Amino acid sequence: MAKRRSIPNRMSARRRISIASYRPPREGVIHGSMTLECQRVQDYLHALNAATRSSGDQGSPVTITAFIGSVVGRALSATPSLNGRVHLGRYIPYDRTNVAFLVQVGNGENLAQVLVEDIDTKAPLDVHYELSTRAAAVRAGQDENFEKSINLTKRMPTPVLRRVLSFGGFVTTGLGLPFAGQPAFPFGSAVITSVGMLGVDEAFVPPTPFLRVPLYVAIGRMREMVFAEDGVPVVRPGITVTATLDHRFIDGFQAGTLAREVRKYFDQPDLLGAVPR
């Protein structure tokens, strides 16, 4: 008889959180995607990185993730119904526009969030510096909030963890109070993740109930695509950006406003901040 292979009975904190959080879908969500031509954005990022190198900055280059984060911040400001939370059956707007980025930790075993506050006022270069600095601290085990939260997660049975996560979302985002290593409003109004860095062209982010955010954005891989220019097919760098939206916050009109804002900044990247001279 063939020997049965032994499978390690160990789950990462990330997998435990997923099992404890998700239920079969029953709430209204809207899924949308935009395929965008990126030549102007690519030129803008190249100029931005050339300017920072010439000033002596040898850090990591500014990425499309930081650029889109800056775009999302401004789009949220232009769509006030998305920049808030639903608590006890009523909508409560936020005074500031904050966005969380998901960061892989431990070779992808876990995820952490990096919250960039007042992102609607920050240029892509500012978002990049803040995101890269704080992500490095999380990966190095220097973020006390993340370490406290992840250690607590590892010790709890899944049924208990489900209730704790739900209660934690109620406290941190509903009531606006810190809980179990998480500050008040830890995810802001949107969560952004880059699947393009994993080689994925397009994906949709599933809503995570305890995060209590109305917008999830996934950034696909930048690649060569065919676009129409004056009726002629041309090959340009392009990217697909997808959104998962809570239908309680948004209808078609607001979604259209969101899309127009995104297209505006892809057409005119300099509106987000001039390249340093």
For residue 39, CA distances in Å to 162, 217, 235 come to: 44, 21, 10
Q: In this predicted structure, what is the pLDDT of residue 3?
A: 53
Q: How many CB atoms lie within 10 A of CB 206?
A: 13
Tokens of 109: 């075993």
The residue type found at 165 is L
Q: Helix 39-54 vs helix 64-78: angle between axes, to the nearest 10 degrees?
A: 120
What domains does the chain contain, in order, with CATH numbers?
38-207+216-271 (3.30.559.10)
pTM of the model: 0.90
| Tens digit of each residue's pLDDT (9 = 90 or more) over 14-52 | 777 777 776 666 778 889 999 999 999 999 999 999 988
Helix (H, G, I), strand (E, B) or coil at 157: coil
Tell me how far apart the alpha carbons of residues 147 and 139 are, in angstroms, rounded to a whole number. 10
| Tens digit of each residue's pLDDT (9 = 90 or more) over 119-156 | 999 999 999 999 999 999 999 888 888 888 888 888 88
Report the chain's mean pLDDT, rounded to a whole number. Answer: 89
Q: In this predicted structure, what is the pLDDT of residue 7?
A: 46
Tell me how far apart the alpha carbons of residues 141 and 110 are, in angstroms, rounded to a whole number. 12
Tell me how far apart the alpha carbons of residues 156 and 105 are, in angstroms, rounded to a whole number. 20
| Tens digit of each residue's pLDDT (9 = 90 or more) over 164-222 | 999 999 999 999 999 988 899 999 999 999 999 999 999 999 999 899 999 999 999 99
Q: Are strands 215-219 and 190-194 parallel, antiparallel or unpaired?
A: parallel
pLDDT surpassing 60 at residue 92: yes
